[in-house]
A = this chain, B = another copy of it.
């Protein structure tokens, strides 16, 4: 099965939007053992679209098209497809009912342009769009397939997952790939590579693939091979061996996130957490509560940005702030204790640091972040030195704090004050 992805939209070519759709589709197809052979990006322009469809049909079996299906005038994909396949638009009552329901459930008025979204080419199979008003459309053309989907990422993803992927799996014999991913926090790519270099050598001799997929504060380590029972067992074995080498850093598998992992641990134990944030400004609490059902283990939190609030709301001693400053072990430990008491939680996670770009000194440069975790037993604290970039510092602080909380729950943080 050869595949081409055609992404339509001026915004992609002028750099206003990054083409994350194409990379998501690449991953989704790889999971079912298929690959994208060509990626094409063109403008919302009739002749370009026709040429791109001709070229794609000349070289691949499946053409996945995104973009240009919105209700506004600059979205012309449906019209061009209709002409290209020599067919005409007919109203689809099911789609119309869905669109009507979409607006009703939101208490919003349906407009004429939205009714037009229920008009679909007569020879297309409609692919239901759970999250929007423009349906996906599946065309069969001389033994080949073209699928048109909206460019809005979550709409495209839902149509791909619910309809396109299952249909492609039915239609083609694909060599499924098996892979396992280990999620690692707080250890850089090259450190991991050094630590596991013997395992990596062995793994490659076994004809398995290993990929490092880094993002700020995280590395995903993916081991993959053709899906056979022998390979499954081997891959599982390697993942376990790597995991055993880094218990403080390997926190999960596949798409696990730290907030999810922590949520499960806390719920299982009937424990709760609160946060007391300075430099992260609420981002740790927001990460914890991004998980459905977080209210089981999270009841409240504080953002203590100024010294006055650190003292007034969570009871940091003025003399501590005066003597050691806001970004210090002493202050962050008092924040953790004070916030934990105020919110009556099992764990109090406090952060205080210099996110930047301003505010650094020689002694405490931008990127210095103190993190403390208080329990009824005492407090564990750690100093981190991140980078210059504010948003990356905030992101890394959030992940580090969550991972330290994970280690605390699991009893892996040993030195306490």
A: residues with CB less than 8 A from B are: 7, 10-20, 22-28, 30, 35-43, 48, 55, 70-74, 106-108, 111, 113-114, 131, 152, 154, 188-191, 193-194, 200, 204, 209-214, 220, 222, 275, 277, 280-286, 288-290, 292-295, 298-306, 308-309, 313, 342-343, 355-358, 385-387, 389-392, 394
Q: Decide if B313 touches A305 in the complex (CB within 8 Å).
A: no
A293 to B354, CA, bound (A): 11
Q: Is the CB of B22 within 8 A of A292?
A: no
Per the bound structure, the CA–CA distance linking A53 and B167 in Å amounts to 34
Is B30 a contact of A23 with CB atoms below 8 Å? no
Q: How far is the CA of A11 from the CA of B298 in the complex (A)?
A: 35
Contact A37-B27, Cβ < 8 Å, known A19-B18, A280-B286: no
* Residue among A41, A107, A193 facing the most chain B CB atoms (10 A cut-off): A41
Nearest residue in B to A386 (C-beta to C-beta)? B106
Chain A binding site: helix, strand, loop or mixed by DSSP? mixed
The residue of chain B having its C-beta at the shortest distance from the C-beta of A71 within the complex is B190
On whether A39 and B39 interact (CB within 8 A), knowing A282-B282, A286-B280, the answer reads yes
Structural contact, B30 and A15, CB atoms closer than 8 A = yes
B residues near A72, Cβ cutoff 8 Å: 189-190, 193, 212
| Cβ–Cβ < 8 Å partners of A204 in chain B | 73
CB closest residue in chain B, given A30: B14
* Contact in complex: A298, B305 (CB < 8 Å): yes
- Complex Cα distance, B285 from A301, in Å, reads 11
Other-chain contact of A306, B11, B290, B300, B392 (Cβ < 8 Å): B300
As for how many copies of this chain the complex holds, the number is 2
Listed residue (A39, A211, A282) with the most chain B CB atoms within 10 angstroms of its CB: A282
Give the Cβ gap from A169 to chain B, nearest Cβ, in Å. Answer: 17
Contact A189 B305 (CB under 8 A): no
State which of B25, B107, B189, B302 has its C-beta within 8 Å of the C-beta of A70. B189
B39 near A27: Cβ-Cβ < 8 Å: no
Q: Which of B7, B113, B210, B286 contacts A282 (CB 8 A)?
A: B286
Given A13-B36, A194-B113, A281-B290, also A309-B300 (CB < 8 A): yes
Contact A15 B10 (CB under 8 A): no
B-side contacts of A20, CB under 8 Å:
18
In the complex, besides A72-B190, A108-B191, A292-B358, 10 extra interface pairs with C-beta distance below 8 angstroms are: A14-B27, A14-B30, A15-B24, A22-B41, A72-B212, A108-B188, A152-B214, A282-B283, A301-B305, A302-B303
